[in-house]
């Protein structure tokens, strides 16, 4: 008889390897296959990414891609659930849905865009918006 126990519990931070420079407070998606060291690879969520593809939000920025693949500076924690703090690309009103505008930043939802969460408070442009991510 075997077991298949999950590696991470829902809502826990997920350690990832930065496939590209990842600033703090940005939404990320899977970037490539696992690294040779066994790390999940992550890159910035692109414009109009869908909620199911969003891994979560970076807790701190990564080091540059010129740092070695074995460097701790290329490993960051991604908050996978709950209310995350993500950079607002424009002002967002409290209670409004948001979408990924590009570079892992969010904007207030517009028709034809993929909603990824709801802003919990009014956020100014370039501020960190508190967003409840949809799963």
Per residue in 79-119, pLDDT (tens digit) is 998 899 999 999 999 999 999 999 999 999 999 999 999 99
Check residue 17 and give its pLDDT.
94
Token representation of residue 117:
């969460």
Per residue in 39-48, pLDDT (tens digit) is 899 999 999 9
Can you state the percent helix, strand and coil of the chain, rounding each to 5? 5, 40, 55
- Tell me which DSSP letter residue 62 carries: P
CA distance 113 to 109: 7
3-state secondary structure (DSSP) of residue 52: helix
């Amino acid at each position: 008889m075997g077991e298949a126990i999950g590696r991470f519990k829902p809502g826990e931070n997920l350690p990832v390897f930065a496939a590209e420079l990842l600033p703090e407070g940005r939404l990320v998606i899977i970037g490539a296959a696992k690294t040779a060291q066994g790390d999940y690879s992550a890159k910035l969520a692109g414009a109009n990414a869908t909620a199911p593809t969003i891994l979560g939000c970076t807790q701190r920025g990564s080091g540059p891609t010129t740092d070695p693949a074995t460097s701790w500076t290329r490993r960051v924690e991604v908050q996978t659930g709950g209310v995350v703090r993500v950079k607002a690309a424009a002002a967002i009103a409290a209670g409004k849905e948001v979408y990924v505008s590009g570079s892992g930043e969010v904007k207030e939802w517009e028709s034809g865009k993929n909603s990824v969460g709801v802003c919990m408070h009014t956020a100014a442009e370039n501020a960190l918006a508190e967003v409840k991510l949809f799963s």
